[in-house]
Chains A and B, each alone.
Chain A
């Protein structure tokens, strides 16, 4: 192609030239066949030669040349068939083999020589060795890359079925002691290796011919032609007599020598991958050392990583063969060898190469401890390389290296787990077992990258949930939990929290913290801890608190509630055991409530009174149920705290109302036996209620607090007082609609109390109903209100209570 005119021939021109050439091939082949039909071999050969002369062109692109080549080859098959017949008619092929060599031009001469030589070899097996040698040698005369490649391809394709595929021993075994045997596998190997070497040289040479500005086009053309070179390797792989020994001692050294010495990136990369693909796994296993050793010697432009990965992946997928024990060590040392010898290799490639080694480890090393040890050693060497290459800079998540490293780090934790279990707690367990894993995270990655790993660990645990199969050996020890939370989860539990924007926290931050809080629950689920190991659970909870507390207000807001709930749950469990099972249960419970109290107080620092209030109430309710001697005092204390938060910190109207309702509900639910404790709350509630700003809320809150003065048997006068107060407040409303609504609500509320006959209450109801009826004349009831009213009336009717005066 070097001789093509400076301008690239346009497609049109190409097509025209190709058509011309194909036309000539057609004409000449027609004449050739006519002559063959009439038995005029000499003339037929002349036409064949003319036809082949078309292949002398240097005007065609590789693609067009290929088309032309195929057309010529097709026609040469006719010649071959004819010559076979000729032989059967008694013609001496040796003479013919000489005769075609008079052709003055080398291209037609060699194509014809190969064609005749093939027939010669087919009909006279004894000639094979010499003819093969001669043909492959004579082809040296074509030094033009494109023409040479196709000529040698013709040679290789023509000879494919007659290459000797027997060993010397097999021939000797036949025992007929022929002096001129028809060749052995050695002859075939020599033939192909030589042809391969020559083709590769031609192929490589293409790169260096012509203008530099055509480099891209040339590389493209070279890629189009690579199959021609690779076919040599395919052919070798198809020879059955090549056993492991022969491959190791003859075939591979020959190929590698050529590949390494050609010093051409495109060729080296293609041929090494080709080697991996065409030969069986067993062969690769025996020849890892030389193969990998050669990889280290390839030119810098070769992406060695692809080759290594292809090899490792291929072996990782291999079935039915026993891999040697030291395979990992070989890979490992050769990879570091390659990294050493190629200082320009980019970090991404190194990482992905190490990654494939991990992949191999996971798939092929069955012994658990050995596997973990191996993965650790890969992690360690990766860590070393990164440290060396990055010069203390951390790898940023948003770079290519970062992405590659993330992928790499996920490998051992998403796949490297026992029993094929790749989810649940197992990845976390694995991340802790691998000694270097956290170092790698902490030493060379930026926070964001580390966070991605943390999140993926948490997600994998939470995605499979607590319904997962329990595997006891996967459970974490307390120490592991502490390390995991404090070190691996560092990006979530430590550091500066983002600034609030318009009072809103960053969405991602919130999601992360919620994930963390879910994980706390997960840690206390049966997946992670035995259901009855309450002491351990307590240790987990308090450890968590210790680790999470420094995270700051914005974080504990999300994580502490989880701790509180888990603690309360734990207290209940202790109380269920009672003193028979656990003599110290009450002390433990008390301790838990102290812990809860501290936790909520600490939480209160972070400006979330609503949450703290609810948690206190929850604690109060919980404490009231555990059956401790001190339970009412405890509950009292928690409620008091809730009330004081209500009084001091909750100011938003709606929030105040709903908090108050909660407090009232909690007090009612706790149902203090000690009047001493109950009374102050009961009397305080209506007061607090009447301090609410909106009247309807006042009414509703007072109505609720009225229930504090009633129990199953009595309705205290205070309750009636409350109701009266409500009616009074309702009457004072300006808005008639609202007034009527409140009346109906009050009436409905009273129905809660009618089971106890109370004359005063009945009077109240009658008055109220009168007012309702009165109002109804003026205001049209809304549908829902009408419904509520009717339901109330129906209920009273069913209780045989008449509101008629």
Chain B
């Protein structure tokens, strides 16, 4: 593409409004590296400027039109060629004609709906980007710019603790309690594990956060489990009546909000897995789903209030 671009002789730059004040967020790229992009929230206006610089000044560049698009799409890695766009907004910047000099266009997508969170998983990617296309007869000149979207949620109205008694008859009975069923991403899981009956020689106990990503529907569903955190919470063998405290800070782990049935394409769910390991390395476990959500930060308000300011300046 760069070869083509070079030949065609025009560079496209996209400059977002208020970029200097906008927060950046990290996201994993497909190859596992971490990229940083500008962070947007649902309903925020995405506006900016497109600068087109001609490689050979003075040379005419003819085109069939210039457009800017705001796209949200889901890529299933198993289905490479097929990108499912769930959001696509187009603005024409120029009618077909010739570009004789470097030109700058402003664009604005007002209060864009961004229903989903940006996500890079094992089998799926959800991304938002802005694409500028100079339509040409043979090959279009295209520039894409990724942005990251975080979906914020308000405090859940119902957030009851998770309480459960599990066991193996005549062997092990425990009762555990996690203080909530829904945690925000910087939350702390506080809990207790009561031992009601212990007839096995337990060596230790740990709690794991497991991410389950499922893609596709029906027979073509792919499930991928990933252990995000493994956390030892007990060393040694407890006796009946012991209660073991649990406190797990979530902020340090790479977590996303729980995503359910995103555009009928994929889901990401989180589970707490309580594992007891005995002296023969047998593992006894119980998984329990927790809902993760992203809490709005205080800085969010600043950004929102700054956005109109910056537009005012313009």
A142 touches B234 (CB 8 A): yes
* Complex: A145 Cα to B233 Cα, angstroms: 16
Q: Does A680 contact B (CB under 8 A)?
A: no
* Complex: A56 Cα to B249 Cα, angstroms: 23
Interface centre among A109, A141, A147 (most CB of B within 10 A): A141
Chain B residues with CB under 8 Å of A109's CB are 232
* Complex: A665 Cα to B265 Cα, angstroms: 144
The residue from B231, B239, B279 contacting A104, defined by CB atoms under 8 A apart: B231
A147 touches B232 (CB 8 A): no
Chain B residues with CB under 8 Å of A144's CB are 235-237
B235 touches A106 (CB 8 A): yes
Mask: chain A, 126-142; 1 = CB below 8 Å from B; 0 = not = 00000000000110111
Mask: chain A, 83-122; 1 = CB below 8 Å from B; 0 = not = 0000000000000001001101111010000000000000
The residue from A106, A140, A143, A201 contacting B237, defined by CB atoms under 8 A apart: A143
Q: Does B34 contact A (CB under 8 A)?
A: no
B232 touches A105 (CB 8 A): yes
Closest Cβ–Cβ distance, residue A282 to chain B (whole Å): 36
The stretch among B92-100, B151-159, B240-248 that forms the contact with chain A is B240-248
Chain A residues with CB under 8 Å of B247's CB are 101, 138
A141 touches B237 (CB 8 A): no
* Complex: A569 Cα to B83 Cα, angstroms: 139
A3 touches B234 (CB 8 A): no
Label chain A's interface by main secondary structure. helix
Q: Does A148 contact B (CB under 8 A)?
A: yes
Q: Does A205 contact B (CB under 8 A)?
A: yes
B245 touches A143 (CB 8 A): no
A98 touches B235 (CB 8 A): no
Chain A residues with CB under 8 Å of B249's CB are 98, 101-102
B232 touches A140 (CB 8 A): no
Q: Which chain A residue shows the least CB distance to B238?
A: A143
Q: Does A679 contact B (CB under 8 A)?
A: no
Chain A residues with CB under 8 Å of B279's CB are 3
Q: Does B173 contact A (CB under 8 A)?
A: no
Q: Does A2 contact B (CB under 8 A)?
A: yes
The residue from A106, A143, A145 contacting B242, defined by CB atoms under 8 A apart: A143
Q: Which chain A residue shows the least CB distance to B251?
A: A98
* Complex: A56 Cα to B230 Cα, angstroms: 17
* Complex: A105 Cα to B206 Cα, angstroms: 9
A104 touches B236 (CB 8 A): no
Given contacts A2-B201, A147-B236, A205-B239, contact A141 B231 (CB under 8 A): no
Closest Cβ–Cβ distance, residue A212 to chain B (whole Å): 16
Q: Does B252 contact A (CB under 8 A)?
A: yes
Closest Cβ–Cβ distance, residue B188 to chain A (whole Å): 9
Mask: chain A, 204-220; 1 = CB below 8 Å from B; 0 = not = 01000100000000000
* Complex: A104 Cα to B208 Cα, angstroms: 10
* Complex: A107 Cα to B235 Cα, angstroms: 8
Closest Cβ–Cβ distance, residue A56 to chain B (whole Å): 7
Given contacts A2-B201, A3-B203, A104-B232, contact A138 B239 (CB under 8 A): no
Label chain B's interface by main secondary structure. strand
The residue from B201, B230, B243 contacting A140, defined by CB atoms under 8 A apart: B243
The residue from B235, B244, B252 contacting A147, defined by CB atoms under 8 A apart: B235
Q: Count of chain B residues with Cβ under 8 Å from any Cβ of A?
A: 21
B242 touches A140 (CB 8 A): yes
Chain B residues with CB under 8 Å of A137's CB are 245
- The B242-281 residues at the A interface (CB cut-off 8 A) are 242-245, 247, 249, 252, 279
A145 touches B236 (CB 8 A): yes
* Complex: A2 Cα to B235 Cα, angstroms: 13
The residue from B234, B238, B239 contacting A106, defined by CB atoms under 8 A apart: B234
A141 touches B239 (CB 8 A): no
Closest Cβ–Cβ distance, residue A208 to chain B (whole Å): 9
* Complex: A447 Cα to B232 Cα, angstroms: 71
* Complex: A102 Cα to B228 Cα, angstroms: 13
Chain B residues with CB under 8 Å of A138's CB are 245, 247
Chain B residues with CB under 8 Å of A2's CB are 201, 237
Closest Cβ–Cβ distance, residue B22 to chain A (whole Å): 26
Chain A residues with CB under 8 Å of B204's CB are 106
* Complex: A628 Cα to B279 Cα, angstroms: 108
Q: Which chain A residue shows the least CB distance to B252?
A: A102
Closest Cβ–Cβ distance, residue A484 to chain B (whole Å): 63
* Complex: A56 Cα to B279 Cα, angstroms: 15
Mask: chain B, 74-87; 1 = CB below 8 Å from A; 0 = not = 00000000000000
* Complex: A104 Cα to B203 Cα, angstroms: 16
B252 touches A143 (CB 8 A): no
Chain B residues with CB under 8 Å of A201's CB are 239
B235 touches A56 (CB 8 A): yes
Chain A residues with CB under 8 Å of B233's CB are 106, 141
B244 touches A141 (CB 8 A): yes
Chain A residues with CB under 8 Å of B239's CB are 143, 201, 205
The residue from B203, B230, B235, B252 contacting A142, defined by CB atoms under 8 A apart: B235
Chain A residues with CB under 8 Å of B230's CB are 104
Mask: chain B, 99-127; 1 = CB below 8 Å from A; 0 = not = 00000000000000000000000000000
* Complex: A143 Cα to B242 Cα, angstroms: 9
Mask: chain A, 638-678; 1 = CB below 8 Å from B; 0 = not = 00000000000000000000000000000000000000000
* Complex: A137 Cα to B236 Cα, angstroms: 16
* Complex: A106 Cα to B246 Cα, angstroms: 11
Closest Cβ–Cβ distance, residue B218 to chain A (whole Å): 38
Q: Which chain A residue shows the least CB distance to B231?
A: A104
Q: Which chain B residue shows the least CB distance to A108?
A: B232
* Complex: A138 Cα to B279 Cα, angstroms: 23
Q: Which chain A residue shows the least CB distance to B279?
A: A3
Closest Cβ–Cβ distance, residue B25 to chain A (whole Å): 21
Closest Cβ–Cβ distance, residue A111 to chain B (whole Å): 12
Q: Which chain A residue shows the least CB distance to B230?
A: A104
Interface centre among B233, B236, B239, B252 (most CB of A within 10 A): B236
Given contacts A102-B252, A137-B245, contact A143 B203 (CB under 8 A): no
A143 touches B244 (CB 8 A): yes
* Complex: A2 Cα to B245 Cα, angstroms: 23
* Complex: A56 Cα to B234 Cα, angstroms: 12
Given contacts A2-B201, A3-B279, contact A141 B252 (CB under 8 A): no
A140 touches B245 (CB 8 A): yes
Chain B residues with CB under 8 Å of A142's CB are 234-236
Interface centre among A106, A137, A144 (most CB of B within 10 A): A106
Closest Cβ–Cβ distance, residue B249 to chain A (whole Å): 6
Q: Which chain A residue shows the least CB distance to B236?
A: A144
* Complex: A729 Cα to B296 Cα, angstroms: 148
* Complex: A644 Cα to B155 Cα, angstroms: 130
* Complex: A396 Cα to B161 Cα, angstroms: 71
Closest Cβ–Cβ distance, residue A96 to chain B (whole Å): 13
* Complex: A800 Cα to B118 Cα, angstroms: 157
Q: Which chain B residue shows the least CB distance to A209?
A: B237
Q: Which chain B residue shows the least CB distance to A101?
A: B249
Q: Which chain B residue shows the least CB distance to A144?
A: B236
B236 touches A143 (CB 8 A): yes
Closest Cβ–Cβ distance, residue A148 to chain B (whole Å): 7
Mask: chain A, 185-206; 1 = CB below 8 Å from B; 0 = not = 0000000000000000100010
Closest Cβ–Cβ distance, residue B230 to chain A (whole Å): 6
Closest Cβ–Cβ distance, residue A512 to chain B (whole Å): 63
A106-B232, A109-B232, A201-B239 given; 11 more Cβ-contact pairs under 8 Å: A102-B249, A102-B252, A104-B231, A105-B232, A106-B233, A106-B234, A138-B245, A142-B234, A143-B238, A147-B236, A148-B236
Query: Can you show 13 pairs from A to B with CB atoms below 8 A apart?
Result: A2-B201, A102-B249, A106-B233, A109-B232, A137-B245, A138-B247, A140-B242, A140-B243, A141-B233, A143-B238, A144-B237, A147-B236, A201-B239
Q: Which residues of B contact A (CB under 8 A)?
A: 201, 203-204, 230-239, 242-245, 247, 249, 252, 279
**8 A-B pairs with least C-beta separation:** A144-B236, A143-B236, A143-B238, A106-B232, A142-B235, A102-B252, A105-B232, A106-B235
